[in-house]
Amino acid sequence: MKRLFLLFTLVVFALCANAQSVTKFLGIPVDGTEYAFKNKLKAKGFKDSKLIGGALEGEFNGEDVYVSVQTQGGKVQRVIVSDRDYRDEGQIRIRFNKLLDQFSRNEKYFTDYRNEYLVDSDDLSYEMSVNNKQFQAAFYQKANETSTLANSSYRLVWFAVTRNPLLGFGIAIYYENRLNEADGSDL
């Protein structure tokens, strides 16, 4: 009986440790089933989107957003947070640079990427449509205060400028659990 209890305790501890070590979005581990993940988001006030099938909508970081969930092998692998409202080039520069500041100052994140602010001379429309340039920034989410790049590389959070030729520009933020990525085993 003691062995069974010890085995049960170890399994519970391992499951809790794994849940604690993956990327989190609004405190929710980016893991488990899509159904369970979306229910946790709904408990935080998100609602099913009437415009985008399978997505939720709500407020995040002061913006009205859509939230989509991507799975791999039945587990949540990525959460995509997309602006609901589009902006012009000047407004998206301000939004991008503000997000870059927020992530850079937030102690829950660190980076080894060369993230650059958008400047007025960046012609986003031209660069994105003609040269297929991407404007993005990337960070790693720390599991705790002693996290290092080596033990955080699978907790990637990045954001990019998106462009709709008819509506304007937006931002998409990606919260990734790289432990749940496809590993080629299906090949």
Q: What angle do CA 67, 68, 70 make, to 5 degrees?
A: 145
| Contact (Cβ atoms closer than 8 angstroms) between residue 161 and residue 185 | no
pLDDT at 113: 85
Distance (Å, whole) CA 61 – CA 58:
10
Residue-wise pLDDT tens digits, 160-181: 999 999 999 999 999 999 999 8
Is the pLDDT score of 138 beyond 70?
yes
pLDDT at 150: 74
Gyration radius of the chain over CA positions: 19
- What is the pTM for the complete model shown? 0.86
Which residue in 100, 105, 63, 101 sits closest to 81, CA to CA?
63
In this prediction, residues 122-126 reach a mean pLDDT of: 93
Mean pLDDT of the chain: 88
Determine how many CB atoms are found less than 10 A away from the CB of residue 79: 23
9-13, 43-47, 56-60, 70-74: the lowest-pLDDT one: 9-13
In this prediction, residues 96-114 reach a mean pLDDT of: 93
Residue-wise pLDDT tens digits, 48-75: 999 999 999 999 999 999 999 999 999 9
Is the pLDDT score of 87 beyond 50?
yes
Q: Residue 186 — very low, low, confident or very high, per pLDDT cuts 50/70/90?
A: confident
In this prediction, residues 102-122 reach a mean pLDDT of: 93
Is the pLDDT score of 96 beyond 60?
yes
In this prediction, residues 130-147 reach a mean pLDDT of: 91
